[in-house]
Structure 1
Amino acid sequence: MTALVSDSAADLAAFSQEAPGPLAELAAAHGTRFILATFVDMNGKPCAKLVPVSAVAELEAGKLGFAGYAAGLIGQDPQDGDLCAMPDPASFTPLDSVRPGLALVHCDPYVDGKPWPFAPRVILKQALARLAERNMSAKAGAEVEYYLVTKDDDGVLATADAKDDGAHPCYDARGVTRMYEHLTEISDVMNGLGWGNYANDHEDGAGQFEQNFDYDDALVTADRVVTLRYLLNVFAEQRGMVATFMPKPFTNRTGNGLHFHLSLWDADGGGELFPTAGEDPHGLGFSGTAYSFLAGILDHAPALQAFLAPTVNSYKRTGATSTESGATWSTNKASYGGNDRTHMIRVPDTHRIELRSGDGSANPYLAIAAVIAAGLDGLDRQLDPGAPCGPGERRLDAATLPPTLLHAMQALREDPVILSALSGSEDVGRYYAAAKETEFFQWHNQVTDWEVAQYLTAI
């Protein structure tokens, strides 16, 4: 099924007179009583209205309005007109495991009958359309890392599983077993939805987990990341826990990553574009297309961090020098190598790249859209990434990633390709950069415990 989106107010008006559409049919087939009509703002906050199936025709007709300024960072002021949520029936997700009769559908915000250029899902769809103009499509996988914690009345975080306190808990069978009910409930939901959950593991930090699902078309995967975050939040809360994707919730533990596995495909069904069928100058089994796409990402890496690491806290993760486990698992250099997790880009096989500099606060729609723009620029300029780093090797000429959110926004402003990656407009990129700079200074203006300890009686 295709998304029910229109390009004009007249189309929306005509659509409202049609018979019940695919979304109504899906709701009836699944016994759905209420639908969460969902979109995210640029920060990734899930915004929704709970729509009874008796009103699904209004939803399908684009009549469900939101006050965009109230929703969050999405390019609106209080005086602006409604964001109208246009549902994509292909994203219909039954959530009877959350509440009987509940379903979720991802929506594309429209304003005055046109796709809203500040809406993250709209931005990704436009990036994928640029790929389609070249007869290409993108597939993506995502590794969603998170911590399960509790928070006391003073705001102090603790590991939800008090026995999970070791310095090297990664893959610990006992830690997974103690969280069996939580992990298996999420797994069952993912598999019931056809996502193909294939692994659930304890990650590197005490209290940290990851639950994997199969790769799919880039838009489908981005939708699933948003849905999974919602599910993790809901199910954790039901057990008295908090699921957090915060990049660095604990100073001494590994941060939360959101690693993307990306590949390009022939849009006409001709197969993968990354494996080489001929010469391979760098020995990784890649085609020229793959190397140029990869090179574009490396070339724009500093600006890409504005979307891959979009919070103040992100840079506590990439700037970490050590953790209890002995490794940070996050890079601060724009380098690439083979099956080596110390680089920004890992090449585990001939079919994909793994982009490892994204963290748990990344908006999957914006992150993938920006990376596609960088990769396409690499293709247009026929860039070559140079030789990959060998195991443990570091390239001295590799660009250093931004040390703070403010530096990332400066890099974004200075990179016209990535600045215009959002809906093809520098205005959208500048709006995002300004908001994130404000976020940085709001944090910077707070007096912290560290400052009091460091300076109170220093002079």
Structure 2
Amino acid sequence: MEIIMNEVLNFVRENEVKFIRLAFCDIFGTHKNIAIMQPELEGAFLNGIRIDGSKILGFINEDLFLYPDPTTLSAMPWRPEPGCVIKFYCDIKLKDGTNFDLDSRKILKTALKNLSKMGYGALSATECEFYLFKQNENAEPTLIPVDNGGYLDVAPVDKGEDVRREICLLLNQIGIVPQSSHHEAGPGQNQIDFKYLDPLTSADNLITFKSIVKTTAIRQGLFASFMPKPLKLENSNGLNINISLIKHTTKLDQLQEIETEIEQYFIAGILEKAQEIALFLHPIVNSYDRVIKTQFITKNQDASFKCRNIGPLANPYIAYALIIQAGIWGIKNKSKIKYITLPKTLKQSIDFAKSSNFVKGVLGEHFAKKFISLKEKELEMYKNTSRETFYMNEYFLKL
């Protein structure tokens, strides 16, 4: 790691980098960052950069410290070179240097270590949908879709084509390579799919992707929404996660396909824990307005499977961690596949999560209690507010 840090510091000096963004997420997966100047980077690697934990929703009333992960370096698009802006995703630690137990990336790293201890690994690829809406004369978002297109339509019916193209080019510019993009079934709805990567990088990239989608839409005079059901009578937004299990060999540079039996156990474990983890895959009231007609997990044509219709607003680190740990549980217990009914309301999901020792074991009791408590407060606020007002102010405009 020290070698990588030195290479990064040399890169920063040679490319006249002026600003460095240190990125992280709150417990709900909301993208946060702080910018530092180039001379501060070496100190950030060694001692972290202080932030006020009391001002981050769900965190604690203490100073926390961001330690940039040098392997996540990326140059920000829209910035000139030289003098470019770069970004790192960060690990979060307490003042004494110990890991912060509400750090989502740390929770996913633990899940991946547990999978590795069993001799297995995973690759994952996401497929994410979003809507593009018009803005009014005051540059405020409306609920009017940018077009009336349908699945795989083309211009001029598809008015999101240029936006998708710019998003894909910007992503490619910073090393995130989309596999495909197209107009989806809903008016103004779009989907971009990504190639297989390790789950930690995949989760990092999904956070970056959503940020670029939002920013690109604004630059085009539009508004992008990942809200699960922004339009009552139209298609829902979903996030599909494709997972391919792999087996480590004695040679570090070689991987083998997983045995069918192990994959079946893994899938069965996810299905068996699906009700308990539903809150973290479908974390808002609006998630339950969707009518899901497909199974939660389906097999792909290749040696992989798909977790379908996860809410695009789910914290990707937590979603991956729970899915992977559920799969590990399935392998250990040689679970048999049986399909279950997922919770139909946020209240049902909260109740399943509250009674789940599995959730507490994966996320830690502090994280689980904090997340559940804030979701209970959100549900109460929803009950005391008109549905339209709550959806607009708390979801559509914020998330």
How does the TM-score come out when normalised to structure 1? 0.78
Decide which of 26, 36, 50 is 2:35's aligned counterpart: 50
- Could you say which residue in structure 2 is the equivalent of 1:87? 68
- Would you say the 8 A contact 2:129–2:190 is kept in 1? yes
Q: 2:203 aligned with 1:230, yes or no?
A: no
- Cα distance between partner residues in 1 of 2:109 and 2:169: 29
- Cα distance between partner residues in 2 of 1:2 and 1:212: 34
- Would you say the 8 A contact 1:197–1:214 is kept in 2? yes
Within-5 A mapping of 1:262-273: 262-267=243-248, 268-273=252-257
Structure 1 residue 378 displacement after superposition:
0.4
- Would you say the 8 A contact 1:294–1:375 is kept in 2? yes
- Would you say the 8 A contact 1:303–1:418 is kept in 2? yes
Decide which of 366, 369, 372 is 2:321's aligned counterpart: 369
What is the CA deviation profile of residues 133-162 of structure 1, one whole-angstrom value per residue up to 9, with x for unaligned ones? 21222211111211111354797733452x
Structure 1, 21-30 or 233-242: larger mean CA deviation: 21-30
- Could you say which residue in structure 1 is the equivalent of 2:384? 445
Change (3 A) 1:373 1:185: same
- Would you say the 8 A contact 1:145–1:245 is kept in 2? yes
- Would you say the 8 A contact 2:163–2:217 is kept in 1? yes
- Could you say which residue in structure 2 is the equivalent of 1:253? 234
- Cα distance between partner residues in 1 of 2:246 and 2:195: 16
- Cα distance between partner residues in 1 of 2:256 and 2:15: 35
SS of the aligned residue for 2:91 comes to strand
- Could you say which residue in structure 2 is the equivalent of 1:358? 310
Decide which of 68, 81, 103 is 2:86's aligned counterpart: 103
- Could you say which residue in structure 2 is the equivalent of 1:36? 21
What is the CA deviation profile of residues 278-308 of structure 1, one whole-angstrom value per residue up to 9, with x for unaligned ones? xxxxxxxxx1110000000100111121111
Q: 2:263 aligned with 1:290, yes or no?
A: yes
Change (3 A) 1:297 1:141: same
SS of the aligned residue for 1:113 comes to coil
SS of the aligned residue for 1:349 comes to coil
Q: 2:124 aligned with 1:140, yes or no?
A: yes
The one-letter code of the counterpart of 1:187 is C
- Could you say which residue in structure 2 is the equivalent of 1:431? 370
- Could you say which residue in structure 1 is the equivalent of 2:392? none
Change (3 A) 1:345 1:98: farther
- Cα distance between partner residues in 2 of 1:309 and 1:104: 29
- Could you say which residue in structure 2 is the equivalent of 1:324? none
- Cα distance between partner residues in 1 of 2:261 and 2:295: 21
- Would you say the 8 A contact 1:420–1:429 is kept in 2? no
The one-letter code of the counterpart of 1:189 is L
Q: 2:165 aligned with 1:184, yes or no?
A: yes
- Cα distance between partner residues in 2 of 1:63 and 1:439: 33
Structure 1, 428-437 or 294-303: larger mean CA deviation: 428-437
Alignment identity in percent? 26
- Would you say the 8 A contact 1:295–1:375 is kept in 2? yes
- Would you say the 8 A contact 2:181–2:193 is kept in 1? yes
Gaps in structure 1 of 5+ consecutive residues: 5-19, 277-286, 321-329, 332-341, 387-397, 451-459
- Cα distance between partner residues in 1 of 2:328 and 2:387: 42
Which structure has the higher relative contact order (CA within 8 Å, separation 6+)? Answer: 2
The one-letter code of the counterpart of 1:207 is G
Change (3 A) 1:56 1:176: farther
How does the TM-score come out when normalised to structure 2? 0.89
Change (3 A) 1:183 1:446: same
Structure 1 residue 375 displacement after superposition:
0.6
Which is richer in helix? 2
Within-5 A mapping of 1:59-458: 59-74=44-59, 76-77=60-61, 80=62, 82-98=63-79, 101-111=84-94, 112-152=96-136, 157-161=142-146, 164-166=147-149, 169-174=150-155, 178-267=159-248, 268-274=252-258, 276=259, 287-317=260-290, 320=291, 330-331=292-293, 342-385=294-337, 398-422=339-363, 425-448=364-387
- Would you say the 8 A contact 1:145–1:211 is kept in 2? yes
- Cα distance between partner residues in 2 of 1:448 and 1:209: 26
Structure 1, 358-367 or 261-270: larger mean CA deviation: 261-270
Change (3 A) 1:408 1:22: farther
- Cα distance between partner residues in 1 of 2:238 and 2:90: 26
Size of the aligned set, in residue pairs, is: 382
- Cα distance between partner residues in 2 of 1:369 and 1:428: 13
SS of the aligned residue for 1:117 comes to coil
- Cα distance between partner residues in 1 of 2:366 and 2:374: 12
Gaps in structure 2 of 5+ consecutive residues: 390-399
The one-letter code of the counterpart of 1:358 is I
What is the CA deviation profile of residues 176-219 of structure 1, one whole-angstrom value per residue up to 9, with x for unaligned ones? 76333322221112223333322110011111111222110010
